[in-house]
Amino acid sequence: MRFVTKKHLPRRTFLKGVGTTLALPLLDSMIPALTAQSKTAAPLQRLGFVYIPHGAVMDKFTPAATGSGFEFTPILQPLEAHRDHVLVLSNLCHHQADSLGDGGADHARASATFLNGVHPKRTEGEDVRAGKTIDQIAAEKIGQDTRYPSIEIATEDMTGLVGACDTGYSCAYMNTIAWRTPTTPLPMEINPRVIFERLFGDGGSPEQRLARMREDRSILDQITKEVPHLQGGLGQRDKTRVSDYLDNIREIERRLQIAEKQGGFDLPVPDAPVGVPDNYEEHVRLMYDLMALAYQGDVSRVFTFMMARELSQRAYPQVGVPEPHHATSHHQDQPEKLAKLVKIQSYYMTLFAHFLDKLKSTPDGDGTLLDHSMILIGSCLSNSNVHNHNPLPVVLAGGAGGHLKGGRHLKYAENTPMANLLVSMMHKADIPQETLGDSTGPLTDL
């Protein structure tokens, strides 16, 4: 039963304290009482874009069968529990990431092209140029009612690098997958504490923020006086929803505090990247959990996440790969290296499945956050040994508010621009954009 009252809360309801502003998740009582039994609030559209480097072992990624009867491959097997919300898309390519006469640097072009389908300018200087990315187009269309129209996150910091990080190409091309304009790459934040403060603490003075963290208090302590007043006017389901939301925030903050202590930091006002977990898996999970909370509280509806960067030297001993990822990616068709790459790529999908678990378990209106989200995960490299960009490993997850039907493997004609998928995603999010990069039209049957 939906909670019905003569009063209802506006969707943009906040709990406020000193230095803290906390948006609430969608509650039944935010739907006007007179329409509650016959009408539900239109689901908010959320978009996410997750990048994994160094391509994939494609015969261990791509299902053999198409349609709804496909079997999950070794790399995609962690997503099987979410079959009904998963679409595997085959034969998409980003030819604008090819050399086109500009020599090597396929890693730099991969990151720069992934979300725009535009060939980046070859330069080692500050005169970088690529293309405005889909996340920033979406931020302008569906993110303007939120505190943060978009959020850009990563796990590896390369922002201090200058000059060329790949042959003839500026480091700026590999530091991000998000471009606000063709000449404005956006920085990716790696520190979950900084992201947390952006989402749930709007400042106060630097002294107030610093004191709050050093005293090891939760920012929720600032709003505890408001919570009972709010809860008193809610139905039981809404009370439970608010309590779960606050508990989730407290749990994330506890983990952040542990991460900061592990790092041995005397934490300043969070302007610099501190408090990053030593453990990669905890780092990734924290970032995903924060994005789920951003969705839940409608603090942001759009994010980009680089799980690792191109040319990453990270090793994954936790899954049996103590060698650097990039070196392993040059496998030369050696079975041992290929097996290790499959382990890394499956591990990425395991961590992504954790995010889908979180979205699926979070109520949102008459569905879940997963029902009302559309998350792209993939790479702009295919076979890492030859640095090609065709066919790409791409998965789309979520329900897009009823606009996306999962449980299918869709195989398109060879050399279909991946930009066609990006255009299709915008259409399903009710964003009126007909072209992007080298797109030739939206995908059929999506």
pLDDT at position 33 is 47
* Non-local CB neighbours of 1 within 8 Å, separated by 6+ positions: none
pLDDT at position 271 is 38
Encoding tokens for residue 142?
Answer: 């569906």
Say yes or no to pLDDT of 4 above 50.
no
CA pair distance 446, 431, nearest whole angstrom: 16
Q: For each of the domains in the chain, give its residue range(s) and CATH number, in order of start.
A: 1-42+193-275 (no CATH), 43-190+301-446 (3.40.720)
Per-residue pLDDT band for 149 (boundaries 50, 70, 90) equals very high
pLDDT at position 264 is 41
CA pair distance 394, 62, nearest whole angstrom: 9
Average predicted confidence (pLDDT) for the chain: 86
Tens of pLDDT along 163-199?
678 989 999 999 999 999 999 999 999 999 889 888 8
Per-residue pLDDT band for 152 (boundaries 50, 70, 90) equals very high
Number of Cβ within 10 Å of residue 242's Cβ equals 18
SS3 (DSSP) at 409: strand
Say yes or no to pLDDT of 1 above 80.
no
The CA-based angle 144-149-154, given to 5 degrees, is 175
Question: Per-residue pLDDT averaged across 275-283, rounded?
Answer: 88
Verify cis geometry, omega within 30 degrees of 0, for the bond prior to 391.
yes
Number of Cβ within 10 Å of residue 280's Cβ equals 18
CA pair distance 283, 308, nearest whole angstrom: 11
pLDDT at position 227 is 76
pLDDT at position 247 is 80
What is the reported pTM?
0.84
pLDDT at position 332 is 96
Question: Per-residue pLDDT averaged across 367-374, rounded?
Answer: 97
Q: Name the residue among 425, 441, 19, 438 with its Cα closest to residue 205.
A: 19
Q: Name the residue among 359, 372, 401 with its Cα closest to residue 248.
A: 359
Alpha helices in 205-307, H assignment, sequence order: 206-214, 226-232, 236-263, 280-296
The phi, psi pair for 364, rounded to 5°, reads -150, 105
Say yes or no to pLDDT of 347 above 90.
yes
Q: Name the residue among 115, 126, 112, 125 with its Cα closest to residue 150.
A: 115
pLDDT at position 241 is 78
Identify which has the larger pLDDT, 37 or 87.
87
Tens of pLDDT along 23-63?
777 777 776 543 443 345 578 899 999 999 999 999 999 99
pLDDT at position 288 is 97
pLDDT at position 235 is 80
Say yes or no to pLDDT of 147 above 90.
no
SS3 (DSSP) at 434: coil
Reported as type and span, the H/E element at residue 166 is strand 164-166
Place of tokens 């959020």: 151
Per-residue pLDDT band for 218 (boundaries 50, 70, 90) equals low
CA pair distance 255, 286, nearest whole angstrom: 8
Give yes or no for a contact between 395 and 79, defined as CB atoms under 8 angstroms apart: yes
Question: Per-residue pLDDT averaged across 246-268, rounded?
Answer: 64
Encoding tokens for residue 205?
Answer: 């003075």
Question: Per-residue pLDDT averaged across 280-294, rounded?
Answer: 94
CA pair distance 409, 130, nearest whole angstrom: 31
Per-residue pLDDT band for 15 (boundaries 50, 70, 90) equals low
Per-residue pLDDT band for 266 (boundaries 50, 70, 90) equals very low
When mean pLDDT is compared across 51-55, 141-145, 310-314, 318-322, the lowest value belongs to 141-145
Per-residue pLDDT band for 10 (boundaries 50, 70, 90) equals low
How long a stretch of residues is the chain? 446
pLDDT at position 111 is 97
Say yes or no to pLDDT of 275 above 80.
no
* Single-letter amino acid, residue 264: G
